[in-house]
């Protein structure tokens, strides 16, 4: 009974939890923390089950209200969406654990909003309907506006104004694009739209191209591609740390949406419209990578540095999407898991370092030196995020470099390696300023709660774990990439009427 | 009818975009509202403009496409909520930063830059 409803649980569970948590009269802070933690762990369990389910290779769907596709709204589970839901759950556990160390008490309703955001994120990953994707984007954005403001402060308000206005404009563009695609194809279900695009009347292809590229602008805004990324560094640097860490997955939603929509709808059956996003994503991804490398070098604040590292990862992922081969998709999925968890961990770590340094905060100036434990964690985080050999960043990068073919190598190899070097220089400089140029102080009043340690360790532990489990993980991402490269599998799974439907 | 409809949508979105690029939060919020009106009109037209058609299928004969209506309804609700949020955010920014510029700059700084 429960198993058949498993696909919709990652949306229903956070919603129910959020509703209970938002009833502010119910229980105290301890009750809320416990409930939030339990719900997030349950989400982790569910996403593991979903991953196992998806690994069987069949595309499954859950028809809400039993309205069969293409007429009803469906939630679709394939290897890609199961992986993304799992990454979100892993990240969320780290964030909630960290927030229990005191950040959740700096404003009201942290946990409730956090679960609403999880609902939006999971929904965006699972939905098989273009308009529903819009709705879940709005859910996660509305929660993220409020979370960004958690705790208050001038820099947060200011960056939230930019973030909210930009994303509202993005939502309007999304609706324009959806409207155009609906007008041209007559459907909103992504699989059905893919089938419709493959038999498109050439007269209407202009409308579809316009809609598809408008959609790319929206996804580019979410993913923070070059001309649309300016909101990101300030917003991420200003956000409260557990929220910034969760935001590490927000840019990946844009990347996921690009993968999903363009590989499915404009895949190999789309005829003249096949891969219409490819040149844009490839060149702008590379440009994002270059700019982000410069940004990393120029940051004078540890949080800003990590925010630009998020941008580096976006550029890398988009270049991977732009290569448009199963090998590249597999490599980028591996890199995506690594970068989401590690940059999330680094945001949390930056907060701990800032707390230990007292007045100097996270600015890269001389100040009180943080303790040994944070230094060790910083070393691990820096090595893995810069992509140095023993840890997972290196594997992801090597996979991506190996996936490049022909002329792509000429561009990708120097750029990716140069930004890696930029990140290395910036992190080494930041590390030596933070840990070696500090004054020793006797009054070590900066006791950190063990929750914060646990949250950071949980996320950074992902990196060595991914090295140990690299074999099974790459097998899985390979299979996911192959599944994505065959849109017909998904179309058949969704549009063939079920005969034994009860 | 199509021409009038298209011009209305275009003018609305153009004015919305122009206002969104202004420096103060109030015109920006108004611009967002205008843009969402334009979106709603646009979505509505995407099912094809038909006149004298039944809104609900009632036997044979032509009927309007019901899906855009559902989409517009959703878009209106979401747009309304978002506008309300943007207004509150703008007021909070005005209160916290002492001015209503989207970058939170002070009036004197703007004078200097000129």
pLDDT at A128 over 50: yes
A176 touches chain B (CB under 8 A): yes
**What's the pLDDT score for residue A457?**
92
Beta-carbon neighbour count of residue B11 at 10 Å? 12
pLDDT band at A500 (very low <50, low <70, confident <90, very high): very low
Beta-carbon neighbour count of residue A54 at 10 Å? 25
* pLDDT digits 0-9 by tens, A367-403: 777 888 888 999 999 999 988 888 888 999 999 999 9
Q: Which residue matches tokens 């009347």?
A: A201
Chain B contact set for A165 (CB, 8 A): 20, 28, 32, 86, 102
Cis preceding-peptide flag for A70 (omega within 30 of 0): yes
pLDDT at A415 over 50: yes
| Nearest alpha-carbon partner for A67 in A144, A129, A111 | A129
**What's the pLDDT score for residue B106?**
61
- Section A189-201 average pLDDT: 88
* pLDDT digits 0-9 by tens, B14-47: 999 999 998 888 999 999 999 999 999 999 888 7
Q: Compute the half-sphere exposure of residue A296: CA atoms within 13 Å on the CB side of its CA.
A: 29
* pLDDT digits 0-9 by tens, B45-101: 887 777 777 777 777 777 778 888 888 999 999 988 989 999 999 998 888 888 888
Lowest mean pLDDT among A164-178, A265-279, A286-300: A265-279
Q: Which residue matches tokens 């273009």?
A: A130
* pLDDT digits 0-9 by tens, A63-121: 888 888 778 889 999 999 999 999 999 999 999 999 988 888 887 888 999 999 999 99
Cα separation of A80 and A102, whole Å? 34
**What's the pLDDT score for residue A186?**
86
Domains assigned to chain B: 2-49+64-113 (1.10.287.3510)
Interface pTM (ipTM) of the complex?
0.90
H helix intervals, A240-371? 241-247, 250-264, 278-298, 302-323, 326-357
- Section A262-279 average pLDDT: 84
Task: Return the percentage of chain A with pLDDT > 70, whole number.
Answer: 97
Lowest mean pLDDT among A132-136, A137-141, A222-226, B7-11: A222-226
Report the SS3 class of residue A469: coil
CA A39 to chain CA centroid, Å, is 20
| Nearest alpha-carbon partner for B45 in A175, A382, A426 | A175
* pLDDT digits 0-9 by tens, A19-62: 999 886 767 888 889 999 999 999 999 999 999 988 888 888 88
Pick the residue with more confidence: B113 or A238?
Answer: A238
Any idea what DSSP says for residue B54?
B
Q: Which of A165, A166, A214 to mutate to test binding with chain B, by most B CBs within 10 Å of its CB?
A: A165
Contacts of B43 (CB under 8 A, 6+ apart): A175, A178, A179, B68, B71, B72, B75
pLDDT band at A499 (very low <50, low <70, confident <90, very high): low
CA distance B13 to chain A (A): 10
A160 touches chain B (CB under 8 A): yes
Q: How much is the mean pLDDT over chain A?
A: 88
Cα A305-A308-A313 angle, rounded to 5 deg: 130
Size of interface A-B (CB pairs under 8 A): 83
CA distance B26 to chain A (A): 12
Cα separation of A131 and A95, whole Å? 29
Q: Find the chain B residues whose C-beta atoms sit closer than 8 A to any C-beta of A.
A: 16, 20, 25, 28, 32, 35-36, 38-39, 42-43, 45-48, 67-68, 71, 74-75, 78, 81-82, 85-86, 89-90, 92-93, 96-97, 102-104
Cα B92-B95-B96 angle, rounded to 5 deg: 85
**What's the pLDDT score for residue A87?**
95
pLDDT band at A2 (very low <50, low <70, confident <90, very high): low
HEC profile of A349-383: HHHHHHHHHHHHCCECCCCECCCHHHHHHHHHHHH
Lowest mean pLDDT among A92-96, A133-137, A151-155, A480-484: A151-155
What values do phi and psi take at A62, rounded to 5?
-125, 115
**What's the pLDDT score for residue A153?**
81
Q: Are A319 and A292 in contact (CB under 8 A)?
A: no
**What's the pLDDT score for residue A59?**
87
CA distance B107 to chain A (A): 16
**What's the pLDDT score for residue B108?**
52
Q: Count of residues for chain A?
A: 502
Cα separation of B29 and A251, whole Å? 25
**What's the pLDDT score for residue A501?**
44
CA A289 to chain CA centroid, Å, is 17
Quick one: CA dihedral A120, A121, A124, A126, positive or negative? negative
* pLDDT digits 0-9 by tens, A420-462: 999 999 999 998 888 888 776 655 555 678 888 999 999 999 8
Cα separation of A73 and A274, whole Å? 26
Cα separation of A79 and A486, whole Å? 13
CA distance A154 to chain B (A): 7
Q: Are A53 and A77 in contact (CB under 8 A)?
A: yes
**What's the pLDDT score for residue A440?**
67
Q: How much is the mean pLDDT over chain B?
A: 84
- Section A133-159 average pLDDT: 89
Q: Count of residues for chain B?
A: 114
Structure token pair of residue A356: 């230990």
Report the SS3 class of residue A62: strand
Cα separation of B108 and B114, whole Å? 10
Q: Which of A179, A207, A211, A218 to mutate to test binding with chain B, by most B CBs within 10 Å of its CB?
A: A179
What values do phi and psi take at A300, rounded to 5?
-115, 15
- Beta strand A60-63 with A74-77: parallel, antiparallel or unpaired? antiparallel
Cα separation of A176 and A141, whole Å? 18
């Amino acid at each position: 009974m429960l198993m058949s409803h498993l696909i919709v649980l990652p949306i229903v569970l956070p919603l129910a939890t959020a509703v209970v948590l938002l009833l502010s009269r119910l229980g105290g802070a301890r009750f809320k923390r416990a409930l939030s933690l339990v719900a997030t762990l349950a989400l982790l369990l569910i996403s593991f089950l979903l991953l196992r389910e998806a690994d069987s290779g069949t595309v499954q769907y859950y028809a809400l209200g039993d309205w069969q596709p293409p007429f009803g709204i469906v939630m679709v589970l394939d290897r890609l969406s199961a992986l993304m839901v799992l990454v979100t759950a892993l990240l969320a556990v780290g964030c909630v654990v960290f927030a229990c160390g005191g950040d959740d008490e700096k404003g009201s309703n942290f946990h409730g909003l956090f679960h609403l955001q999880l609902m939006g994120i999971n929904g965006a990953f699972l939905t098989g309907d273009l308009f529903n994707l819009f709705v879940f984007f709005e859910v996660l954005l509305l929660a993220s506006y409020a979370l960004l403001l958690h705790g208050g402060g001038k820099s947060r308000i200011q960056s939230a104004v930019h973030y909210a206005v930009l994303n509202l404009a993005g939502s309007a563009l999304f609706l324009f694009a959806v409207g155009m695609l609906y007008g041209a194809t007559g459907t909103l279900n992504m699989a059905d739209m893919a089938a419709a695009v493959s038999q498109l009347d050439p007269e209407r292809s202009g409308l579809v191209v316009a809609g598809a590229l408008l959609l790319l602008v929206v996804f580019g805004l979410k993913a923070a591609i070059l001309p649309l990324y300016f909101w990101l560094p300030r917003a991420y640097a200003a956000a409260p740390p557990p929220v910034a860490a969760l935001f590490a997955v927000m840019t990946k939603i844009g990347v996921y949406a690009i993968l999903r929509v363009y590989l499915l709808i404009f895949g190999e059956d789309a005829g003249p419209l096949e891969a219409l996003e490819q040149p844009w994503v490839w060149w702008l991804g590379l440009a994002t990578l270059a700019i982000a490398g410069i940004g990393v070098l120029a940051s004078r604040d540890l949080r800003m540095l990590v925010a630009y590292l998020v941008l580096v990862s976006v550029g890398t992922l988009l270049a991977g999407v732009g290569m448009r081969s199963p090998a590249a998709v597999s490599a980028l999925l591996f890199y995506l898991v690594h970068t989401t968890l590690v940059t999330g961990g680094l945001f949390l770590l930056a907060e701990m370092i800032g707390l230990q340094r007292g007045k100097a905060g996270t600015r890269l100036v001389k100040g009180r030196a943080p303790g040994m434990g944070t230094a060790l964690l910083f070393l691990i985080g820096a090595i893995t995020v810069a992509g140095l050999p023993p840890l997972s960043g290196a594997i992801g990068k090597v996979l991506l470099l190996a996936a490049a073919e022909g002329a792509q190598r000429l561009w990708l190899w120097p750029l990716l390696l140069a930004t890696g070097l930029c990140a290395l220089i910036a992190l080494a400089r930041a590390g030596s300023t933070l840990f070696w140029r500090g004054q020793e102080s006797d009054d070590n009043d900066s006791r950190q709660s063990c929750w914060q340690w646990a949250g950071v360790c949980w996320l950074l532990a992902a990196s060595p774990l991914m090295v140990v489990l690299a074999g099974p993980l790459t097998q899985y991402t390979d299979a996911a990439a192959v599944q994505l490269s065959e849109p017909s599998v998904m179309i058949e799974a969704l549009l063939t009427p079920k005969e034994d439907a009860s | 009818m199509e021409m009038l409809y298209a011009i209305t949508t275009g003018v609305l979105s153009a004015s919305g975009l122009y206002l969104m690029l202004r420096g103060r939060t109030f015109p920006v919020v108004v611009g967002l509202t205008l843009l969402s009106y334009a979106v709603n009109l646009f979505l509505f037209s995407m099912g094809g403009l038909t006149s004298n058609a039944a809104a609900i299928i009632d036997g044979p004969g032509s009927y309007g496409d019901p899906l855009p209506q559902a989409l517009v309804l959703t878009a209106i609700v979401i747009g309304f909520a978002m506008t309300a949020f943007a207004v509150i955010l703008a007021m909070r920014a005005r209160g916290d930063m002492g001015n209503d510029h989207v970058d939170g700059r002070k009036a004197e700084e703007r004078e200097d830059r000129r």
